[in-house]
Amino acid sequence: MKRKVTLKQIAKELDVSISTVSKALRNSVEISEDTKQKVQAFAKLYNYKPNNIALSLKNRKTNTIGIIIPEIVHHFFSKVIRGVELVANQRGYNVIIGLSNESFAKEVINMEMLANGSIDGFIISLSKETLQLQDYHHFNETINQGMPIVMFDRVVNEIQCDKVIVDDFEGAKNAVEKLIKNECKHIALITTKDYVSVGRLRTQGYLEALKTHGQDLKAELILKLDDNVDYEVNLDALEKEIEQLFKSNSKIDGIFAVNELYALTAMRVAGRLGFRVPDDIQVIGFTDGVLSKHSTPSLSTVSQHAQLMGEKAAGLLIDKLENDHEDETYQTQIIASELIERESTK
């Protein structure tokens, strides 16, 4: 077992100084052809590669970016990671991941762990708990220490940094307008409580669409669910809630749901109650998930272009990292959402 070879070892073997080796390997004109040959041949033979850690310490630059997300077993987030990784790799960066698991404490710990020199900058989507607590001190501290942050999707005004978001408001509005155009007169909304920023914006889009098209807002058509309940493991509860919605509003002919699970469950419950999708009820969800495409009927959705978000976020971060003149201006890039029509709408 041959350990990784260092400059020092090469220098010793060839009986020259460390700096000669270093220069020879970087093809410096200071070094004679002869020595260069010798050194380079030896280095190649022993497969010399500079030690990243030493370089990081010397250059005070790790060429690594940290991404903190609430959950990884989730299509949206894994697509974002793919985008981040793609751009990061192209530009010579590694990606280190931290999962907050929707917990404020884990988010803080993860960030502190990485902020101590391990990475050059963060890409982050806030945990639900952080959104509820509205405690953003760890972000501001990180930024104050000169470490740039790019936030995506779940962002918040209180933090001054670059952001990448999807146009939740417009996306929702378009979706609901589509339903209106398809002659839905009683469009229900299945959303989350307002502290989840994206849920709030999508709700606003729904309201705006109704208003624009002169449809009355009926409170009983709006179902606000507690996003802290894990309905994925507690499907029955979700179904009950939605069933309730249908029962108290027999005229519902359209549904806009702010995520995939709500939308699919709504379709299922509708089917069970004897409604036909899309004939009796049309449904649109808001998601990048796989289930929509494979469900029967397949679900029309507002796509968030998750991978693109990741690419943009990585691009913004690396631009900032590589721009010396500390740009103290922050931008928010808005990714256009896209309505993908499938079988659940006419």
Of 34 and 328, the one with the shorter C-beta distance to DNA is 34
Q: Does 329 bind a copy of itself (CB under 8 A)?
A: no
What is the DSSP annotation of 217-273?
P-GGGEEEE-TTS-TTT-HHHHHHHHHHHHHT-TT--EEEESSHHHHHHHHHHHHHT
Of 179 and 190, the one with the shorter C-beta distance to a copy of itself is 190
The b/e string for 9-34 (b: 16+ C-beta within 10 A; e otherwise) is bbbeebebeeebbbbbbeeeeebeee
> Could you tell me the two tokens for 264?
């699919």
Q: Does 229 bind a copy of itself (CB under 8 A)?
A: no
Q: How far is the CB of 232 from a copy of itself (least distance, A)?
A: 9
Q: How far is the CB of 222 from a copy of itself (least distance, A)?
A: 25
Q: Which does 141 bind (CB under 5 to 8 A by kind): a copy of itself, DNA, none?
A: a copy of itself
Q: Does 8 bind DNA (CB under 7 A)?
A: yes
Residue of 9, 40, 78, 215 interacting with a copy of itself (CB under 8 A): 78
Q: Does 23 bind a copy of itself (CB under 8 A)?
A: no
Alpha-carbon torsion, ordered 3, 8, 9, 11, to 10 deg: 150
Residue of 1, 2, 27, 29 interacting with DNA (CB under 7 A): 29
Of 142 and 191, the one with the shorter C-beta distance to a copy of itself is 142
Q: Does 50 bind DNA (CB under 7 A)?
A: yes
Plot region of 15 (φ>0 → left; ψ -120 to 50 → alpha; else → beta): left
> Could you tell me the two tokens for 316?
């913004």
Residue of 2, 60, 137, 251 interacting with DNA (CB under 7 A): 60
Q: Enumerate residues 123-142 that contact a copy of itself by CB under 8 A.
A: 141
Secondary structure of residue 329 in the 3-state scheme: coil
Q: Which does 182 bind (CB under 5 to 8 A by kind): a copy of itself, DNA, none?
A: none
Contact 140, 152 (CB under 8 A): no
* Distance from C-alpha of 183 to C-alpha of 314, rounded to nearest angstrom: 41
| Contacts with 242 (C-beta within 8 Å, 6 or more apart), sequence order | 190, 223, 262, 265, 266, 269
Q: Does 296 bind a copy of itself (CB under 8 A)?
A: yes
Cis peptide before 148 (omega within 30 of 0): no
Q: Which does 30 bind (CB under 5 to 8 A by kind): DNA, a copy of itself, none?
A: DNA
Q: Enumerate residues 97-126 that contact a copy of itself by CB under 8 A.
A: 97-99, 110, 112-118
Q: Which does 29 bind (CB under 5 to 8 A by kind): a copy of itself, DNA, none?
A: DNA
Q: Which stretch binds a copy of itself (CB under 8 A): 46-54, 123-131, 157-165, 218-226?
A: 46-54
Q: Which does 65 bind (CB under 5 to 8 A by kind): a copy of itself, DNA, none?
A: none
Of 19 and 296, the one with the shorter C-beta distance to a copy of itself is 296
DSSP state of 336: P
Residue of 6, 78, 103, 132 interacting with DNA (CB under 7 A): 6
Q: Does 343 bind a copy of itself (CB under 8 A)?
A: no
Other C-beta atoms within 10 Å of 188: how many?
27
Other C-beta atoms within 10 Å of 56: how many?
17
Q: Which does 20 bind (CB under 5 to 8 A by kind): a copy of itself, DNA, none?
A: DNA
* Distance from C-alpha of 228 to C-alpha of 253, rounded to nearest angstrom: 28
Q: Which does 25 bind (CB under 5 to 8 A by kind): a copy of itself, DNA, none?
A: DNA
Plot region of 47 (φ>0 → left; ψ -120 to 50 → alpha; else → beta): left
| Contacts with 270 (C-beta within 8 Å, 6 or more apart), sequence order | 246, 255, 277, 280, 281, 283
- Binding residues (CB under 8 A) for a copy of itself: these are 1-4, 47, 49-54, 56-57, 62, 64, 72-75, 78-79, 81-82, 85, 89, 94-99, 110, 112-118, 141, 144-146, 264, 290-291, 294-296
